[in-house]
Amino acid sequence: MKAIPIFFILLLGLTGCYIEIELDPTQVVVEDTGEYETREIVSEVWSNGQWVSSKYINHTWLSIDLYNAGSLKACGVYADIVFYRGYKAIKTISVNIPDIRPGHRYNYTLETGFNSLRDYDDYSVDVYWE
């Protein structure tokens, strides 16, 4: 008979309890960005073994280094990159980024679609996640 009251006391004691688990939020930060140009030669003109001229296409690239500084996996990560000329936004690119585990880095490189780095003055990178 003594085991029953202890069981009921234990049961009543647990019904009034709740457990609060505090988790650090996922926090994805932009650690670094870099921009660079590449030149793709489309055709060259040679005369008597000497280079005369060439036609080429410039490509501009943006590299974004992301870091998950939180303790949870960052899921559904995407970034909005806005390019500016003066104060006016001239182009926005949205990209989906794979999940980033806690304490890990991810590098995302994309072609911007501009012919030169001088086609825009500045850019901003905003990162969002679920």
Q: Is 125 helix (H, G, I), strand (E, B) or coil?
A: strand
Burial 63-73 (b: 16+ CB within 10 A, else e): ebebbbebeee
Beta bridge partner(s), residue 50? 47
Alpha carbon distance, N-terminus to C-terminus of the chain: 53
Helix (H, G, I), strand (E, B) or coil at 40: strand
pLDDT of residue 65: 94
Going from the N-terminus, what domains does the chain have, and what CATH number goes with each?
23-128 (2.60.40)
What pTM does this model have?
Answer: 0.71
Write the pLDDT tens digit of every residue in 59-118: 999 999 999 988 888 888 999 999 999 999 999 999 999 999 999 999 999 999 999 999
| Burial (CB count <10 Å: 0-12, 13-18, 19+), residue 30 | middle
